[in-house]
Amino acid sequence: MTIEELRSLFSDMLSKDMRPMLCDTEVPLYDASVPCGNPTLCPDDFVETVLLPKELLSIHPEFVVTVKGDSMKDAGIESGDAVKVMGDTKPYDGDIVLACIDGEYTLKTYFEDEEGRIWLVPQNEEYVPILLDGSKPVKIYGKVKEIMKTAHRVPTKLCAKAVKRALKAKEVKPKISDAKVSYAFREIAPMITAARLWYAVYRMMADYSVVEVEDFDTFIDKLKTEVPHHEHIPLKVELQRMAVQSFAKPVKQWKPDNAPVKGQRYKSYVDIANKTEELLIS
């Protein structure tokens, strides 16, 4: 990227209330993973540097280390993250610090109790706080100034579920009045020549929230109220037996090769369901 292109990019970002910063200052990156668990050996030398914006750095020496383990997960620090440590600063209660204990180092929360004892406290109940009782030499390198999160890939299944929810939310179905429901029951009744065919009516009414999914009792009660003398009033178990394979889903997702009935019988269920929809929304 040329200087002119960079200036143009910064100008465009500023016009959109963004705050671009140029990574122009080298900060040491240590070739060691700070364990958010039990302490491990401290590194002696850094092996490379990372570039950070000068505006984000303080007058104190700073360096970056990567993190592994989960003992600080409740503080938002996860394995694979990097943390920017500000050295030569006095820690206070609640500061997350990088400490070296008897030649081993760890990342924990600094805490002084009422008796003046100093603890390094993990942010995960599965780990035990470490008491700094003077039995081992301790050096606190500095406190964590910033957590630099690792960008993880999101499972595509989660994306697909989110898209499905969004699409479903867009499917705004009209509110069906009681009068429409009564009309639909009476008009569809002559098409029902077997008790189980009422499942097609139930499923479409469930799709339009006239009844709740799997609330067969309410559907049968409505049916008995509207056409009490129909010769094919279904039992609950008869409707339940039809709620399998693609028939367990909304009518629009029914498939002839994955349905509990085949051929002309499948077509009859589809025709009754479509007729029910027509009566409900006409």
Q: What is the crossing angle of helices 178-188 and 216-226, to 10°?
A: 70
**How many C-beta atoms lie closer than 10 Å to residue 223's C-beta?**
21
Hey, what amino acid is at 16?
A: K
How far apart are the C-alpha atoms of 139 and 120, rounded to whole Å?
A: 12
How far apart are the C-alpha atoms of 139 and 35, rounded to whole Å?
A: 16
Residue 137 backbone dihedrals phi, psi, to 5 degrees: -65, 135
Q: Are 207 and 250 within 8 A, CB to CB?
A: yes
Positions annotated as catalytic residues are 71, 108
Q: Are 242 and 199 within 8 A, CB to CB?
A: yes
**How many C-beta atoms lie closer than 10 Å to residue 265's C-beta?**
13
Phi-psi map region of 94: left, alpha, beta (phi>0 left; psi -120 to 50 alpha): left
